[in-house]
Structure 1
Amino acid sequence: MSALEEVLIGECKADAVVQTRIDEIIAGRFACREFCDAPVPRRTIEQILRVARFAPSGANIQPWHVYVLAGAAKYRVSAALLEAHETSSDEHVSEYKYYASDLPDRYLRRRQEFGRLFYGSLGIAQADVEARSYQTAKNYTFFGAPVGLIVTIDRRLEIGSWLDLGMFVQNVMLAAAGRGLQSCPQETFSKYHQILRSLLSIPEEQMVVCGISIGRAKVSTMDRLMPRAEVDEFATFVGFEA
């Protein structure tokens, strides 16, 4: 049984499961960190964004903006971010906080497990600061992907609009996967918002939220590295007893 089938069917072999194309796309998506350099046409990205824009948003305010980078423009951004990462990383900080300072145990354990699995898969010891920094630097080359997105939100909006933005980002990644592409959402771009603001003429009212790398995965098939909690760990069903 493939990893995808296990995700969709689990241990309930007796139950009839209808596997749809969207199920395959959702369960087959992964954060790709190694792309091949096969080009992705502008029209394909336009198609992806045209579909992603149908993400729901409160009062239909559609709080997202996307800067789409390819070719020389992408390389200029990568070069500037790599230089900052190597020479002045401590001088840069994101405008928002991604993780809580004091994570509850359940989430702390998952974060620690991520570190063990991710760096372990790369043969990097968690104590190897230099190797970890080198791996982080690959983010700023968009992991070799031919297209990089920088996603922003208007800083004057509230938390609800961030929920909307998350659904838009997910739509982007699923629309890409539906076209045989993979992606990687990257919060780490937010750290260098000052550099991105200058290079891309991002208005002051826009806050840099993340980047997204898009392209064809270097390896055509990959097993999901990160485990997911079972449904009974995060869902409470009420009223189904009857």
Structure 2
Amino acid sequence: MDVTQAVDQRISTRAYLPDALPEAEVREWLEQAQRSPSGGNLQPWRTIAVTGQAQDDVIAMAAPILAADPRGQKTDYPIYPKDLWDPYEARRRQVGEMMYETLEIPREDRAARIAWFSNNFRFFGAPLALFIVIDERMGHGQWGHTGMYLQTLALLAEERGWGTCMQECWGVLRPALKDHFKLAPSEMVWCGMAVGKPDPEHPVNQLRSTRAPLSEVVEFHGF
């Protein structure tokens, strides 16, 4: 598989087979991802990998908090800007509607939509989950470099036949995750990532989101 193919076929996988990923392969994958680009070679990311009982413990920690308030906990780092504007809000809404249409969950069935969304906090059944940790003292550049690390993880997983789903939804539980993982005072969980072998039969894995045309996002100068 070449890089172009990996980029093209990667999707947010939201249904997984229960097959465990061997520890040796997971370690090798994470070692390879350490070659991700990093300005000044800071490598500002830290990764916590959980599986088995450790993963179940995170799920159990999250459940009562979300049951009390589905919006989660207050955070200084919201997932999206307040009053998100177009075209960004339109793109966000479009992909959500595409997903629920694929799952045949109509707009008026709010309970079913909420039930499906709650799968986020069970990692969609993935046997492995990562939590990406960053120091709050880092600047915007280091957040960008950590994003490149996430992309590297996703593409290397694709090469292995694994699916991934970046999960910023865990941002609504940052205080609880900070306590759960006993992070340093200046550390925070940025996001999670579900990892495993995709379930090829599940309709949600047939969803392929759209992308804006180049004319909307790229300017050419001097060509």
Normalised TM-score (structure 1):
0.85
What is the RMSD computed on CA atoms of the aligned residues?
A: 1.8
The answer to whether the 8 Å contact 1:151/1:210 transfers is yes
2:222 corresponds to = 239
Structure 2 residue 209 is matched with structure 1 residue 226: yes
SS in 2 for 1:105: coil
2:125 corresponds to = 144
1:108 corresponds to = 89
Distance 1:193 1:104, change over 3 A: closer
The answer to whether the 8 Å contact 1:115/1:126 transfers is no
Q: Percent identity?
A: 29
List per-residue Cα deviations over 1:102-143 (Å, max 9, x = no partner): 333211221221221112222223343322221121111111
List per-residue Cα deviations over 1:87-108 (Å, max 9, x = no partner): 3334513330222223332112
Bigger radius of gyration among the two = 1
SS in 2 for 1:76: helix
Matched residues in 2 for 1:181 and 1:199: separation? 27
Distance 1:149 1:56, change over 3 A: same
Distance 1:223 1:136, change over 3 A: closer
Does 90-99 or 110-119 show the bigger shift?
Answer: 90-99
Q: Within 5 A, what are the aligned runs for 1:96-175?
A: 96-175=77-156
2:27 corresponds to = 46
Matched residues in 2 for 1:85 and 1:41: separation? 31
- Structure 1 residue runs of 4+, over 6 Å off? none
Distance 1:220 1:59, change over 3 A: farther
Aligned residue pairs, count: 221
Gaps of 5+ in 1: 1-19
AA aligned to 1:229 is: A
Higher relative contact order (CA 8 A, sep 6+): 2
2:47 corresponds to = 66
Gaps of 5+ in 2: none
Residue 44 of structure 1, CA deviation: 1.5
The answer to whether the 8 Å contact 1:39/1:146 transfers is yes
The answer to whether the 8 Å contact 1:153/1:206 transfers is yes
